[in-house]
Amino acid sequence: MANVALCSDPLSFSVYDTPSDGGGSVTISWQAPVESKSIPIGSFVIFRKMNEEVSWSYLASVKAENGLLEDRTAVDGVNYTYKIVSYASDGASEWVCPYQVASKAQWFDSDRLPVLVGVLVCLLALAGVALLHKKGKPFDIRPIRGLEAVDEAVGRATEMGKPVLFTPGWGGDIQRPTTIAALNILGHVASKTASYRCDLIFPTHDPVIMAAAEEVIHEAYIEAGEADRYKAENVFYTTSSQLGYAAAVDGVITRYKPAAIFLLGTFEGEALILAETGNSIGAMQVAGTDSTIQLSFFMVACDYTLIGEELFAASGYLTGDAKILSSVRAQDFMKILIVVVLLAGAILVTFGMVDFAGWIGKS
């Protein structure tokens, strides 16, 4: 603890630059022995003065109990002198700290050290996985049952002569990770519908998402050699209103009766409305979102549900993208490490060794 001024007894009075802060703060601490007759216990008033000033400025009134106070009005680089005055019925006493203290910004907050360690471990895990991939080590991730059903869903729609509907939900925009993951999956679904010569309908609430989806679907049809079967009118904007979007998509579902529905993206209150409408027409539904609230609705109303991060891993699973697969594998390593740390912490705390748990809990 740098720049600490310890003052005279019987009042244990110390002043120091507040540690691990961004500056502009000086801490005053005191311990008042109640049994000491030399200290009239009543209330404490703290004063300060700057540099060589003669007059003292009032800072705060505090209880005459052990405690500390942060002077958050201090200016960095300016020297301050502090004193405590105790007022009681039998008189007053004062203690002046003879040393001047200045505040300054600290370059590192030691209480955030566990966070720094966690970030470094994450970076090392990601770098290690990337290095292994560069050396040719293949990465396999567990099968995602909902995505394995894509071929089945599109094939079912083709056999029934009905379209496939894909929508990314109302709650997201083009910048959200869930939307980007949904568009990656859309490319795979579009490739299948092009190969099977099945219509794909894509309603959305955002014009930017609509433009991106047009490019993704058109490119998938071109790569499948079915560019002439691409229908631009099947990718359309509905409305930015939540209930308006839900009503519009419900209308499309009830009119066109798609045999397969993909609800993948960011969903809010419209999730159950869309899922129940799709369920009512007997469509095979694959859903996925990062919202824990809406996941419960999808689970009861849809055939397959991508839970949380499965939505993000899906694009890597479908496309075999090395970067995404490396990221997923690094996350798996970190999950194992977190479980190990939690178990170790629980065991240590059980046997009374709380230092490790306290260090982790600082952040």
Quote the pLDDT of residue 168: 93
CATH 3.40.50 maps onto the chain at 145-320
Q: Which helix (H) or strand (E) holds 78?
A: none
Quote the pLDDT of residue 356: 73
Q: How far apart are CA 283 and CA 260, in angstroms?
A: 5
CATH 2.60.40.10 maps onto the chain at 4-96
Q: Name the most confidently modeled range: 33-42, 55-64, 121-130, 291-300.
A: 291-300
- The CATH number of the domain covering residues in 4-96: 2.60.40.10
The residue among 266 and 345 whose pLDDT is bigger is 266
Quote the pLDDT of residue 125: 84
Q: How large is the average pLDDT for residues 8-36?
A: 76
Residue 357: pLDDT above 80?
no
Quote the pLDDT of residue 345: 82
> Which has the closest alpha carbon to 270: 252, 243, 302?
243
Q: In sequence order, which ranges of 143-206 are alpha helices (DSSP H)?
A: 145-148, 150-160, 177-196
Q: How far apart are CA 132 and CA 151, in angstroms?
A: 32
Quote the pLDDT of residue 139: 65
Q: What angle in degrees, to the nearest 10, is found between the helix axes of 270-280 and 242-256? A: 10
> pTM for this structure?
0.66
Write out pLDDT tens, residues 196-215: 999 999 999 999 999 999 99
Quote the pLDDT of residue 254: 95
> Which has the closest alpha carbon to 226: 235, 218, 215?
218
Residue 11: pLDDT above 80?
no
101: which DSSP letter? B
CATH for the 145-320 domain, from 3.40.1000, 1.20.120, 3.40.50, 1.10.10: 3.40.50
Q: How large is the average pLDDT for residues 132-153?
A: 76
Write out pLDDT tens, residues 284-321: 999 999 888 899 899 999 999 988 778 877 777 776 66
> Which has the closest alpha carbon to 346: 356, 336, 335?
356
Residue 117: strand, helix, or coil: helix
250 CB contacts (<8 Å, ≥6 apart)?
A: 273, 274, 277
What is the chain's length? 363
Quote the pLDDT of residue 141: 67
Mean pLDDT (the chain, rounded) = 84
Quote the pLDDT of residue 361: 66
The two tokens of residue 360 are 């982790």
Q: Name the most confidently modeled range: 142-151, 153-162, 306-315.
A: 153-162
The residue among 280 and 354 whose pLDDT is bigger is 280
Contact (CB, 8 A) for 31 and 66: yes
Quote the pLDDT of residue 100: 85
Residue 5: pLDDT above 60?
no
